[in-house]
Amino acid sequence: MNLFSLFAHAEPLTVGSPAPLVSAPDQDGKSVVFGDVYAKGITLVYFYPKAATPGCTKEACSLRDSYAGLAGKGIEILGVSRDKPEAQKAFRDDQHLPFALIADTDGKVAEAFHVPMIPVVGIPMRQSFLIKDGKIAWISLNAQTSGAAAEVSKALETLK
pLDDT tens profile 48-65: 999 999 999 999 999 999
In this structure, the dihedral spanned by the alpha carbons of residues 99, 65, 50 and 105, taken in order and rounded to 10 degrees, is: 10
Q: Which fold has domain 9-159?
A: Glutaredoxin (3.40.30)
56 catalytic per annotation: yes
Q: Out of 56, 80, 87, 101, pick the active-site residue.
A: 56
pLDDT above 50: residue 98:
yes
Local structure of 75: helix, strand or coil:
coil
Mind listing the pLDDT tens digit for each residue in 1-10?
A: 343 344 445 6
Q: Which pTM value belongs to this model?
A: 0.92
Given this model, what pLDDT does residue 2 score? 40
pLDDT at 62: 97
Is 72 exposed, middle or buried (CB count within 10 Å of its CB: 0-12, 13-18, 19+)? exposed
Tell the burial category of 31 from Cβ atoms under 10 Å away from its Cβ (0-12, 13-18, 19+).
exposed
Cα 37 to Cα 9, 32, 113, distances in angstroms = 27, 8, 16
Distances 51 to 27, 43, 159 between C-alpha atoms, Å: 11, 20, 29
Contact assessment for residue 131 and residue 14, using Cβ atoms and an 8 Å cutoff: no
- Residue 58's nearest CA partner among 69, 74, 46 is 46
H/E segment holding residue 59: helix 54-65
CB 23 within 8 A of CB 32: yes
Rounded to the nearest 5°, which phi and psi values hold at 48?
A: -135, 150
Residue whose C-alpha is closest to residue 1's, from 149, 105, 102: 105
Statement: residue 82 has pLDDT above 80: yes
**Per-residue pLDDT, 7:** 44
Q: Give the pLDDT of residue 71.
A: 94
CB-based contacts of 53: which residues, under 8 Å, 6+ apart? Answer: none
Tens-digit pLDDT profile for residues 3-52: 334 444 568 899 999 999 999 999 999 999 999 999 999 999 999 999 99
Calculate what percentage of the chain has a pLDDT beyond 90: 84
